[in-house]
Amino acid sequence: MAKGKNKGPRNNAPVVPKALVAPQAGPLEGIYPIDTGTAELERDPYSPTGWLLRINDVPSSHVDLADPGHLDFEYMRWIAALVRSRFVPTEIGAIGHKLRALHLGGGACSMARWMSVTYPNARQLVVELDGRLAALVRAWFDLPRAPLLRIRVGEAGAVLGTLTEATRDLVIRDVFAGDQTPKELSTLGFTAQAARVLDAEGLYVVNCGDTPALENARREAATIGAVFKHVAIVADPTMLKGRRHGNVIIAGSNVPIPAGGALIRELLGGGVPAQYWDDATVRSFARHTVAL
């Protein structure tokens, strides 16, 4: 399944010859060779300032150049709702804390752009495997510069292992090879590394792509629940009932994950209403599954 939604038929975007793929200022429709295959950039037919990025023909990211705070993919809005619920922007701003975020998987840096306007003083590191893609995204889209946003080219697990203990408030894992997360990025060892770099009240959030059988979601929930004291899931009810392919957002933390009325209302009020599962429900869901 795709990482995000596809709102309409594909445009007949021109193939851009390799000789013309030097990063230009601003986006240009086309198919670009990157280190891991191809990146296709096309205009959003529903927005004059929106762009859709496909990686190897799978929808990967959406960016609105006029509004960095706009998240077009539902699963990204669910992640944003969880993050805002844990790290209330007004409270973070009041104490002057520079939220420390690590993004494992970059794409078009949609979540990083959102975070830059939601938490203006945030310090973000994006880890992207594809160096060519990272260069193109820097050229196409209006990304904050270091130290506000740094992009590090490398494999997520390898980079994660080099980071200092307790130096992040938030880790978001959104890494896909085609329509699946590489298995090595969902193991107990990898999850323990994510927990290691988080501080005591940090939040770990993963985007899990799955089929109606929900095997990936159960395994990831069991794994995250084995490492963290608290776990939660956000997904649309149809997905959780095993009726379609889609995305399941799983969060882990060593402190309770808040689920106040404001969060529940926000999740229910989106274009695709989402359901929140608390720790007890998630552990029941994954009780017969062995952590990877």
Residue 165: HSE in the Cβ half-sphere, 13 Å Cα cutoff:
3
Q: Per residue in 95-139, pLDDT tens?
A: 999 999 999 999 999 999 999 999 999 999 999 999 999 999 999
Element (H, E) at 39: strand 37-43
Q: Is 247 within a domain?
A: yes
Tokens of 58: 């799978």
- Residues of the domain holding 233: 74-285
DSSP letter for 209, please: E
- Are the C-beta atoms of residues 229 and 254 closer than 8 Å to each other? yes
203 is written with which tokens? 């939040």
What's the number of domains the chain is made of? 1
Q: How confident is the model at residue 172 (pLDDT cuts 50, 70, 90)?
A: very high
User: For the domain that residue 106 is a member of, what is the CATH number?
Assistant: 3.40.50.150
Residue 248 in domain = yes
pTM for the full model?
A: 0.91
Q: How many CB atoms lie within 10 A of CB 23?
A: 13
In a domain, 127, yes or no: yes
* Cα separation values, 20 from 30, 38, 40, 131, 132, Å: 10, 14, 14, 17, 14
Q: Is the residue at 244 inside a domain?
A: yes
pLDDT value for 150: 98
- 194: helix, coil or strand? helix
CA distance 19 to 1: 32
According to DSSP, the β-strands at 198-210 and 168-173 are parallel
> Residue 220 falls within a domain, yes or no?
yes
Answer yes or no: is 13 within a domain.
Answer: no
In a domain, 179, yes or no: yes
* 116 occurs within a structural domain: yes
237-262: pLDDT as tens digits: 999 999 999 999 999 999 999 888 99
Q: Is the pLDDT of residue 264 over 80?
A: yes
